[in-house]
Amino acid sequence: MFEGRTYKQVGYGARSIRFADEDGGVATTTYSYKLTQDEREAMARRITAALNLTRHLTVEQMEAAAPLAART
């Protein structure tokens, strides 16, 4: 579903992650109030980099490589 997609960091303070080829939102750190403004931007950078680094993998492949610490 998301394999091969690329992502970009955008928005006010660069705290939002969107698909690079369209305007669809993916994630945001805007409301992560425990983080400072600089930390929110850095985390958005980290999320964007991680998504782009793993764009060729399925969710199942990523989970097998690095299982989530907790699931809801």
In a domain, 1, yes or no: no
List, in order, residues 6 or more apart from 37 with CB less than 8 Å away: 13
Tally of domains within the chain: 1
Higher-confidence residue: 72 or 21? 21
In a domain, 42, yes or no: yes
Is the pLDDT at 64 greater than 70? The verdict is yes
What pLDDT score was predicted for residue 72? 58
What pLDDT score was predicted for residue 23? 78
Q: How many CB atoms lie within 10 A of CB 33?
A: 7
**Is residue 9 within 8 Å of 16, Cβ to Cβ?**
yes
Answering whether pTM is above 0.85, one says no
In a domain, 2, yes or no: no
Segment 19-63, tens digit of pLDDT: 999 878 999 999 999 999 999 999 999 999 999 999 999 989 988
- What average pLDDT score do residues 12-17 get? 90
In a domain, 18, yes or no: yes
